[in-house]
Amino acid sequence: MRIALGQFQAIRDKESNAARIADLSARAAAAGAHLVVFPEAAMVAFGDGEPLWEPAEPLDGRFVGGLRELAVRHRIGIVCGIFEPADGQRVYNTAVAVSPEGELAAAYRKIHLYDAFAERESDHVAPGAGELGVWEQGGTRLGLMTCYDLRFPELARQLIDAGAEILVLPAAWVRGPLKESHWEVLVRARAIENTAWVAACGAVGPRYCGGSMVVDPMGVTVARAGEAEQLVVADISRERLEQVRRLNPSLRNRRIPIGTLRQPASVA
């Protein structure tokens, strides 16, 4: 499978963002990609105090409908970050996956909200209920995570246990102290510990660090973007995944099911 990462800077204008997505999708298809991944909040950018519920749309709304039309036109799968209406004036931060046939293949509502580094995503975003976003394309099984989820290895492991061979991560990774380093280390860690491919597409702009990456199951970065708008393409092979899992069968070597660890005896 050939995957493209469409790293760009979303703004508050949905129509402009849709046009950038359409252009990058066409370029990805021309490069032979089977799937193109866009950042978190690609539909409309997080605003400084501006409400997200106003531009939010349901999954059967116009924006996702446009993604479905693009997928059919270019015969390419699309992953993109959108906002759905939730409770009151909050939204769901949702990653959608559209098949090359134009079907909504998966939708994942972000579980872990970015209440860290002096940010409070939960003020305007409601957490998802915990349903996994897993789907198949071209005989390959993929799983969705979003941005801050990267810091929680248990979600990645659940996707792997659900059969995912590729972890797909739309993100808007905020710049900050050592944040760029965290991004690279954590993307590679999720690949290494799960012996899986990771395709992580980040937003760019004044607030975000970009650095979109495709990392192989051994933790090797096979494609990487810089800090500006860019389309990067990488080939992902099941053969490499199988080779690494034979060499490092860490998934088979697990011995302690979660929840069975005993607390240490108290010391007198």
The residues carrying an active-site annotation are 40, 110, 147
Give the number of other Cβ atoms within 10 Å of residue 196's Cβ.
25
Q: What is the DSSP letter of 52?
A: S
Q: How far is Cα 229 from Cα 250, in angstroms, rounded to an integer?
A: 36
Q: How far is Cα 219 from Cα 189, in angstroms, rounded to an integer?
A: 7
**C-alpha closest to that of 184 among 121, 25, 192, 56:** 192
Q: Within 13 Å, how many C-alpha atoms sit on residue 252's CB side?
A: 7
Joined tokens for residue 78: 């699309």
β-partners of residue 235 are: 2
> Quick check: 140 and 238 in contact, CB under 8 A?
yes
105 phi/psi in degrees, rounded to 5: -85, -30
Give the number of other Cβ atoms within 10 Å of residue 12's Cβ.
14
Q: How far is Cα 16 from Cα 23, in angstroms, rounded to an integer?
A: 11
Joined tokens for residue 115: 């209440």
- State the amino acid at position 111 in one-letter form: I
Q: How far is Cα 147 from Cα 142, in angstroms, rounded to an integer?
A: 16
Q: How far is Cα 94 from Cα 84, in angstroms, rounded to an integer?
A: 7
